[in-house]
Every structure is written in C-alpha cells, then in structure tokens.
Structure 1
C-alpha cells in the first residue's frame, strides 16, 4: 500500500490544476481500494455547505452542483465529528440524507473521513460500495492517510482562491490571498517580476513570443551544444565505465534527436511559447510519466530526463540571457532571492519583495529591512509563474500577498500606503528630539545594523548608537572568512559613523538559520545545535581574529561594546572573556593604546534567564534577544508556517521572563537592553520601558514610531498598563488589550503594523 500511496500522492501533486488533482485522487483511490465509488466534498465557506467537487462512480452531472449543509447528511456528520464514519448500511443511519441527483441508490457501505488542515475541516472524502458491509481497519487507515495528503493540496487551493472557480468558470477573477511570513513591514502595490536562477526548470515562467522561427533556431543551437557535451562526457566515461554503463550516453543522444524530445518542444514553441517554457512543459510531462511507472528502473529514468532538460536550459540561457525590464512599480518575486540579485535591481523601482522560501533571518530579508522594502517571505502556495507581470499587493505587516485585488481592496491598500508615507514624513521632525515621556522619563533608542546601507538610515532617524551590529553579515556575503584587516575596515566604518555613541558588536553568530557557504553546518536540529558562542569557542582562531579586528577598529574612538550570542552558562561567558582579554593584551603589545571595551551577553535561551544574576555578576551589560527567547520559551519556530501562528511575544511566559532578567540584573547594578523585535513594536516597547529596560535597539524603520509613542505617554501610564497585563494569562488577550489601551491614549496611527489589514 505504501508504494500505491506514494504514486497517488505524486500524481496528484503533479496535476495541472485543482480540478484535475481532485479527479485524479477520486479515480486512483477508487481503483486502489477496489471499491465502486470515491467522492470528494469540499467546504464552501461563503455558502456554508459541502460541495461535491469530484466523484468516480456517481453521476458526473452532479459534480459542482450537489451540496449539503455543514450539519446535513452523513457528510455533514463526518465534518461535525472530525473523525471517520464507517457504516455497513448508510441507508439505515438516522443522519442519512438521500441525494437523488448523484445516483447513489445502489450503494450501502459508507466510509467518510474528514480532510483537515491546521485543525480545520476543509472537506470530506467518501468511498461507497453496493455490499452491506463495514470497511475494514486497513481500508479506513488507507483513506485517512490519503485524506491527510490531500489536505495540503486543498489548503493551497483555499489560499489561492481558485478552489471553486470551476463552479463558475465564466465569472470574474476573485481576489486571491497567499499567506507567508512578514519579512519587512509595510505595504506595496506593483507588478511582479520573476527572478529565477540559471538552469532551474521549475522556476522558468510561461512567456509568449512572436518570432517562433527565432525561438526554434535558439533551441536547435542549444541542442547542438548539448549533444557535443554528451559526446565529450561519453568519451571521458569510456576510460572508466563498462560497456553497459556507457550505453546510457547513447540513450541521452537518442532522446536529444530532433525527432524525439525536441520535436515535442517545437510543438509548444509553434503555439507561441518561448523555448525555455516549452522545454519545461515537455520535460515535466515526461518526468511525471516516468515517476508513475511501477518498474523501479524506469522510475529512476526521470532523473535522466531532468538532467537533460537542465543541460538544454543552461545552453539556452547562456546564449541569450533574459533581459529583465524592471517597471517603475516593481514587486520582485522568486523562490529565493539572494542579496546580490536584489542589489542588481534599481532601488528606486522596487516597491516590494516576495519569496516562496526563506525566513525572516535570511540575508535578503535583513537587507530588505535595512532598505525599508515591504517584504513577505515563505509564501509557499504562491504560484510564482502566474504572478509574473501581474499586479499584486504585498502586505508586509501581516505577511500576505494579494492577487486579483478588487478595486475596493486596492483602494484600501493605497490609503494605507499613503497614510504610512504621511506618518513617516510627520515623524521626521522628531529626529533630534529625545525619547522622553511626558513626565520626564528618558530612554535611549538605538538601532540594529549589519550593512553599510543601515548607517545613513539610522543616523537620519536620530539613532543614539547601535544596540546590535550583526557581524555575521560581512561573513555571509563572502566566499571565505574575511581577514582581520578586512574586518577592521568594516567595523571602523560602523564605529566612526556613530561615535561618540556606543556600538555593540555581536561576535560571529552563525548556525540555526544563518549559514556560511564555505563553513557548512549540517544538523538535524540546527536551532538546538552548534551555533553562536558554541561555534566560536570551538574555533578560537576565528574568534580571536574577529575580536582583534574589533579592538583595532575602536582605536581613538572608545565606543566599542562586545556582545556574546547564545550564551547558556557562566562558563561560556568566562571562556569568551578570557579570549577577549588575551586579544586585548595582544593588540596593546602591538603598540595600540586601546581601552578594554565593555563585554556583555545576550539573553536568548531559558537557561540564561534563570542565570541572569550570575551572568550579571560577570559581565558589564545584558541584552535580551527577544526573537530567539520567545522561540525557545514557547518551543515555536516562527519560520515554520505550521506553527508560526503560535509565536507570540506577548505570551505571559515571555513577559515574566524579561521582567525577571531586568530585576535580577538591576540588583547587581548592571544595565539591560533589548535588541529583539519587541523593542521596535510600539506596544511591547512601552511595556519594556515600564519594566525598567535601560535601552531599546530596533530596525531603523521603526525608530521614529517608537520615539513618537514614548513622547506621547506618561511613564506612570506604561507602568499601570504593565501591571494590568502581568495579571493576564493569555497572550492574545494581552496583545488586544495593549492595542486597545494605546488606541484610547491616541496612539492608534502608530499601531498599523499590528493590525490585520485584510
């Protein structure tokens, strides 16, 4: 059954569209179970009914027309119970509802299982049989397993808004919503431009061409080059492979014959498709066919076809690279968009960025935030190839992409964009004003940086120093470890730009979701693995070079602070301090009269929370990284779309943990700052201030909003608000309550990035 299941899922996932996927599923399940009927009912939210969307065995004219209320019939019973219903005679069940249009009269045995995704019933899958009998446990288990696989396909269709299109194919295009994760807050409207890597067939979009002859000529030229490439490979292989293995190259050449695969590609080109898109269509079709074959040997031939397709595509792209025209209102699209790809696009034309992969901590997302470009990452269900050159909306506040927006919805976002621009313009006047409450309590507002482009934006917004400089970014943009002198130059620019304000440089923090291509770390659970201080203490040669570069860069400025990431014990802090002291002595021996900088640790894991006092006795400051701390306290990977909704920095455990750290550190006379995202969100920033946090560090784009909020309230108001929320036990309630109270206090316009826009 496992092999059957695998082939069914594979075939359904490769279906051209949702109706085809549902029809395939119904047919394959009926055949696999040897039953007479398999039907799929899907939940229509607007009509609050289950609609028959596919069936093998019932009347086809009923598909798309027959439906049941959410509590009606046996289908409704499955949905209500959220578990399988297995009956030997459906007609005798009190919930049975007869549907004459379906022709189900002869079928007595009934097995229905819910199709569920993230705790919600999306539909019901049903098998029926003429015999009066109960389906056995293995059949029930098989159908439950299949429905679990189908749920992802249905969820995708729900998200894209195309699920019920077949019911009204002539109707207008409805708005489609694709959920991802916020990469950078903000909203943008523009036209999609798909960026795709070289020789990646799956990323090639459809594109129409007028000069068919020129496209065919391009294909022929590419084929000539690939055939020669295969012959060269065959010649080299003849020296090390046997006759049987060498025969594979003959197969390749036969497949590349103009009357074989290329002939099919040319058919699609003659229909107006460009060569790359036609090649992708043909290769995908052959790969699907091979993968569905029962014979294991033949199934493996799919890899050969893929390889040939990539080779031809590489030649097509090399002879005529796509000249991308970037419109004035450009939304960059891609599976992954690297920072270099982003930097090649004229900044003034980029309105937003969307990727189907990646996380908020990807290098691109960090760059996007530094540039203030609304960004959504991890929008897995977004059909990239269909979005190329289409008008789309990027909602970087909520992490959502909107296509086919109605005029009313587009107007709503245009108003939001205008409001944000006006708000930002109004906040500029606060640049040189202090972040001081109405009753005289002042808090320094600093910035998180990592790129040279951060410097000007930060200074323009009146930053009082750097609370977190991510030193890993200069490491990430290279293909080797930067030398001590290269690091010194980079660090010097940061320190000089913000002097005399302090610049807190975090030592190399890699691992987790931050990797170096030249220093790969492969682990099953990287977030609980070799990362942060663990890596650098195991490689003191890397750590010492970095610290020496920092110290030399601070010569004559004396505004350097060094911060240690991912500390879980006092031993790690002591070992790192020993190395820092050693590096300081070495630099002084070289004749540089440099003061010993302050050294602090990041509080990012629960172990550090409960050792806050012990750590405060050994270092000069503590800095709370609320992103990782929230993640570890709640056991939620916020970059995992399955559980990202559980990530909530207003969770009582998070608030109480932060308050504990602040109180323990202050008892030792040690200051505490916050450099996570909570510092840059108006509501949580005011709560942190009420807790007694000594400084807040955030992305430059949030600084003026937080400053405006601080200047419009009294410290007594924030302390009262803190006391009220600390008595609550629900993070969602706390978040809503904070928003409500701040809205009443006149800060509503500053809370836009916490509100659902759609």
Structure 2
C-alpha cells in the first residue's frame, strides 16, 4: 500500500488543474482499493454546502449538481466530527440522506474521511461498495493517510482554480465572493494595489502569465533563444567529443532532437500565437510535458522529465538575458509578489508606487519582512497556496494585520478597507505631535526609545520619529547587498554614516550575524537545520579574519564620535564571550599602534537562546550591557521555526514561558548592576512595551514606524499601572488571552487607537 500511496500522491501532484486532480484521485483510489465507488465532496464556502465534485462509480451527471448542507447526511457528519465514519450499511445510519441523482441506492458499505488542510475542512473523501461490510482497519488507515497527503495538493489546485475561474464569462453571472489567501502578518497596515510579479532568473515555476504586447517579437525572441541553446549544445558536444564514449555523446543528440520536436517547440509557438508572452508559453508547455513524463511507468521515460526541464531552463535563461533586466510595468499603487521575497526585490518597483508586499515563502521574521517593517510597507509572508504566477495585473488587498491577501475584491470590501486606511492616516497625524516629547509615564518615569536600523533610509526615518539612539544596527545588510565580503574601508563608510547621523546618541552595532535565514550569496552555508547550526558568533569566531576586519572598521568609524557600542549575537557560552572580547581588544591595540585615536567601546551580548538566559549573570559580569533579541528567543523557547508558515500560529510573543524568561533576564542582569535592553517585535507593540517597562528593561528598541505608537502608550499610563498590568498578565496561562487582555486594557486607558484597527472580516468586540 505504501508504494501505491506514493505513486498516487506523485501523479496527483503533477496534475494541471483542480478537475484533473480530483478525477485522478477518485480513479486511482477506486482502482487501488478495488472498490466500486470513490467520490469527493468539496465544501463550497459561497453556497455553504458540500458539493459532489468528482466520482468514479456514481452517475457522472450528478457531479457539480448534487450537494449537502454541512449538517446533512453522513458526509456532513464526517465534516462536523472531522474524523472517519466507517459503516457496514450506510442506509441504516440516522444521518443517512439519500441522493437520488447519484444512483447510490445499491451501495451499502461506506467509508468517509475528512480532507483537512491547516485545520480547515476542505471536503470529504468517500468510498462505497454494494457488499454489506465494514472496511477493515488497513483500508481505513490507507484512506486517512492518503487524505492527509493530498489535502495540500487539493488546496493549492482549488486556490488556483478559484483565481482562474474569475476570468470565465459565467463568473460574472454569480454573486462575487471575496476570496482570500492566508499567510503570516509580517508588517502591519493595509494596502490596495495592482499586482506586479517578481520573477527569479531561470526558474520556470516563478514565471508569471503576461499578455504578449508584440506576438511577432515574442516569437522571434523565442526562436533566437532556441538557436542559442542549439549552438551551446553543439559547442559542448564538440569540446567533449574526445573525452566521451559514443554512447555518452548520444545525450547531446537527444537534446538536439527535442529542440526540433514540434510537440515541444511547435506547441510553445502556438501558445505565443494565442497571446501569452514567450516566457509564460515556455513555462506552460515545458511543465506540462514534465508532468506527463513524471507520471509514466517506464523508468527511462520518467527520467526524460529532467531533460525537458533542463532544456526549458536553458531557453528561459536566453529569453531573460536577451530581454535585459526584468521590466516592471507599474501604473499607480503596486503590490509586489514573489515566490520568495528578497531585500533586493524591493527596488524593482519605484519607491513612490510600492504600497504592499506578498511572499509565497518566508515568515514575518525574514530579512525582507524586517526591511518592509523598517520602511512601513504592509506585508504578508508565507502565503503558501497563493497561485502567484496567475495574478499579474490583478487588483488585491494586502491586510498586514491579519495576514490575508484578497484577490479581485468586491467594491464593498474595497470601500471597507479604504475606511481602515483613512483611520490609520488620522492616527498617524495625531501621533506626529509627539516627536519632540519624551516617552515619560504620567508619574514621571522616563523610558528611552531606540530604533533598529540596517539601511541608510532607516536613519532619516528614525530621527524624524524622535529616536534617542540605535539599539540594533544590523551590520549584515551591507554584506548582503554585495557579491563579495566588503573591505574594511567599505564597512567603515557604512558604519560612520550611522554613527555620525546619531552622534552623540549611542549606536549599537551587532557583529556579523549570518546563518539561519540570513545567507550571503558568496558565503553559502548549507545545513539540514540552519537555526541550530553555524550562525552568529559561531561563524565569526571560526573566521577571525572576518571578525577582526569588521571590528577594526567599527572602531575606526567611531573616531571622533565615541558613541559606538558593539553587541555579540547568538552567544551560548562564557568561552565565546571571552574569545570575542580578546579579539576586540586585539583590534583596539592594533589601531592605537597605527596611530588612530580610538577608545574601547561598550561591549554587550544578545540573549537569544535559552542557554544564555540561565547564564545571563555570568555574561553580565564580563560585559558592559545585556540586550535581549526577543524574536529569536521566542523561537527557541517555543521550538517554532519563524520561517515556517505551517507553524506560524504557534509563534506567540506573549506565551507565558516567554514572558517569564524575559522577566528573569531583567531581574538577574540588574543584580549585577548592568543595564538591560530589548530589541524585537514585542518592544514595538504598545502593550508589550508596557509589560517590558514594568519588568525593568531600561531601553526599548524597535523599528522607527512603531516608535510613535509605543511613545503614546507610555505617556498614557503610570509606571505603577504598568506594573499592576504585568502582575495580572503573569497569572494568565494562554498567549491569546494575554493579547486580548492587553488590547482591552489599552482601550480602557483611552489608547484604543494604538491597537489593531477593526478589520472588515472581524466580528464585533
């Protein structure tokens, strides 16, 4: 059964659309289980009914015509209970509902299993037989396993189908449904705009559909790319002719024959003639043939799928090269969507037109998301089911509060979200007046508010919002935007611009923190588990030549300002801190010997892993300050990968275990008389900032866009009220309950405008 299951999943995964997916499932399961009937009922949100979408064994005329309410029939019971129902004779079950049009009256044995994707019931998978019998345990287990495996495939095919269906003439006859796709809220706010798809070089799957503006030019570009690939193959074949045996040389002949095959090249040209641009037509045909070959029984023929894919990539490479840099067509407000959003992609759309970002992969803690928050662009990450290649030019709403992306929204929904945007603008205007005022509680407690930076543009924005220092400068960003390690002089220039802009206010520079989700293209780190691997201080201590150059650049950049603080990331042991301090002192002595007027800066550590939590007093004795990286600390305490959208719902900044760890760090650091600060998303939330202030954190560091809201919250309470709030929260056991209580408290204090606005899809209260 395991081999059968693998084969079904593989074949279904390559089906081109939802109808093909469902048809394959019912046919393959009916054959594998040797049963008379296999059917799929999918839940239709618009009709609020389970609709028969595919069957092998029942009347085909009933497909799309027969449906059941969620409370109706045994199918409805399977959906309500979210568990299998296995019956010897379905007609005797009290919930049995006879569907006359299906011709199911002669079938007695019934096994229905729910199709569940991300905790939502997509539908019910059913097998039936004439014989009076219960399906045995192995058959039930097979169905449950298969349903779990296929749920994601069905969800993706259903999502793609729903988008494509909106172009169908019949779609205009139906009431408009506001379809949305859910991801991870990465940068708050609401954006409405037209989709621009960012394409990865030579990646077929990421090529979007676009209408051909000039069919003749597209066809000529395709033919030129084919000829270029043909020339490449001839050249390589000739160069290797003496080193390869005759049978190995045949491979090149296979490639050349494929280029002459009208089933491939001719079909692509036909798609171009039908109106798709060359890259989109190439993607359609190549991936369709790859699916076809992958589904074949013969091993040799299955392996041809990789040859076709390789050939497609080669042709695509020339198409993209000849077209020059990707041409982004923007008219008005634009939403940039990519399979995997990178910081570099943010520059593809003119700054004044880029209003929202969406990424199919990644999470709210990826570098692209961090940069989006820094510049204040509403962003949703990890929208895994989004058929992004079909969205070019469509209107969408990006809801950066709830993590939803609405495709082709109705006018009613558009107006509702426009109202949210107007409310946001009013709140921002009110907060503008706080710029020159201190973050001081009603009973006189002063709370310094610093910012997290990484881009030159961050500095201007931070100063505009009244930041009192930099709590985290991400030095890896200058490394990420280059094709090689920056020199000491290049680093010096980047660092000096930050130090000069903020002088005499403090600037905390984190030493190079790569690894995990932060990769350098010229220094790849490939690991099975990168977040528990070679990252942060571990990398730089293993490469003192990188660490010393960076520290020298920081120290030289601080000459004349003396506002530098150096912070060590991802420390787990006293030995790491001692070794890093020795390296910093060595760089200092070297520079002083070279005649530079540099002083030893304050040096601190970032507490980001549980091991550091329980050694925080030892660390505090060695260094000048302690800073908590709350994003990573939350990830490691909860064992939740921040970049995995499947478990994004488990990442909870207000989890009781996280709050207790934060309180412990603040208390233990103060015992050593050292200052303790925090940088992370919790500090950027008005409710979280009040809790951290009550715990005793002496500096809060956040992205500049959130600073006015946090300042307003602090100015609206007394320290005693914040401490009372903390005491109440620490007695709670549930993260969502804590979050709700914080929002409720802010509203009671007259600070409700600082919380998330009321969204159109939210129930009252």
For this structure pair, what is the TM-score category when the shorter chain's length is used for normalisation?
over 0.9
Q: Is the 8 A contact 2:420 2:757 kept in 1?
A: no
Give the whole-Å Cα distance in 2 for the aligned partners of 1:638 and 1:448: 19
Who is 1:228 aligned against?
Answer: 231
Among 543, 565, 569, the residue aligned to 1:565: 569
CA distance in 2, matches of 1:512, 1:195: 24
SS of match in other structure, 1:693: coil
Aligned-residue offset at 1:303: 0.8
Kept in 2, the 8 Å contact 1:508–1:532? The answer is: yes
Measure how far apart 1:260 and its partner are: 4.1
Aligned match of 1:6? 6
Question: Does residue 688 in structure 1 map to residue 695 in structure 2?
Answer: no
Give the TM-score, by structure 2 length: 0.94
Secondary structure of 2:128's partner?
strand
Within a 5 Å distance, the mapping from 1:424-435 to structure 2 comes to 424-435=428-439
Equivalents in 1 of 2:344, 2:740: separation in Å? Answer: 40
Q: Which residue of 2 is the match for residue 279 of structure 1?
A: 282
Counterpart secondary structure, 1:534: helix
Is residue 708 from structure 1 mapped to residue 697 from structure 2 by the alignment? Answer: no
Matched, 1:192 2:207: no
Asked whether the equivalents of residues 160 and 178 of structure 1 are also in contact (C-alpha less than 8 Å), the reply is no
State how far apart, in whole Å, the 2-side matches of 1:299 and 1:482 are: 46
Cα pair 1:157 1:163 within 8 Å, conserved? no
Q: Secondary structure at the match of 1:331?
A: strand
> Which residues in structure 2 correspond to 1:702-741 (within 5 Å)?
702-741=706-745
- Which of the numbers 381, 394, 397 marks the counterpart of 2:398? 394
Task: State the Cα distance separating 1:394 from its structure 2 match.
Answer: 1.2
- Secondary structure of the 2:714 match is helix
2:516 alignment partner, SS class: coil
8 Å contact 1:161–1:174 — kept in the other structure?
no
Task: Look up the match of 1:443.
Answer: 447
Aligned mates of 1:363, 1:479 — CA distance in 2: 17
Distance apart, 1:347 and its partner CA: 0.7
Does the aligned pair in 1 maintain the 2:452–2:473 contact within 8 Å?
yes
Separation in structure 1 between the aligned mates of residue 750 and residue 761 of structure 2, nearest angstrom = 20
* Mapping for residues 231-630 of structure 1, pairs under 5 Å: 231-257=234-260, 259-321=262-324, 323-630=327-634
1:745 aligns with 2:749: yes
Q: CA deviation at 1:328?
A: 2.0
Is the CA contact (8 Å cut-off) linking 2:193 and 2:396 kept in structure 1? yes
Shift of 1:757: 6.0
Q: Secondary structure at the match of 2:677?
A: strand
* 1:665 pairs with one of 664, 669, 682: 669
Range with bigger deviation, 651-660 or 352-361: 352-361
CA distance in 1, matches of 2:297, 2:609: 50
Deviations 1:523-561 (A, max 9, x none): 221111221122222222222222122112111211111
Distance 1:575 1:320 in 2: 51
Residues 550-559 or 17-26, more deviating:
17-26
Give how far 1:655 is off: 1.2
Partner Cα separation in structure 1 for residue 441 and residue 160 of structure 2? 46
The 3 A distance-change label for structure 1 pair 32 and 492 is: same
Contact (CA 8 Å) 1:159, 1:177: kept in 2 or not? Answer: no
Cα distance, 1:569 vs structure 2: 2.3
Alignment of 1:95-134 (within 5 A): 95-134=95-134
How much does 1:163 deviate?
9.9
Q: Could you tell which deviates more after superposition, 335-344 or 661-670? A: 335-344
- What SS does the corresponding residue of 2:116 show, helix, strand or coil? strand
Contact 1:554 1:594 in 2 (8 A): yes
**How far apart are residue 47 of structure 1 and its match?**
5.5
Q: Is the 8 A contact 1:567 1:603 kept in 2?
A: yes
Partner of residue 84, structure 2: 84
State the aligned residue count: 758
The CA distance in 2 between the partners of 1:46 and 1:256, in whole Å, is 46
CA contact (8 A) 2:420 2:759 kept: no
Superposed displacement of residue 595, structure 1: 2.2
- Is the contact made by 1:18 and 1:163 (CA closer than 8 Å) also made in structure 2? no
CA RMSD of superposed structures (Å): 2.4
2:385 is paired with a residue of what secondary structure? coil
Distance 1:215 1:755, change over 3 A: closer
Distance 2:739 2:130 in 1: 55
Name the CA distance, whole Å, in 2 between partners of 1:14 and 1:635. Answer: 33
SS of residue matched to 1:713: coil
Q: Secondary structure at the match of 2:398?
A: strand
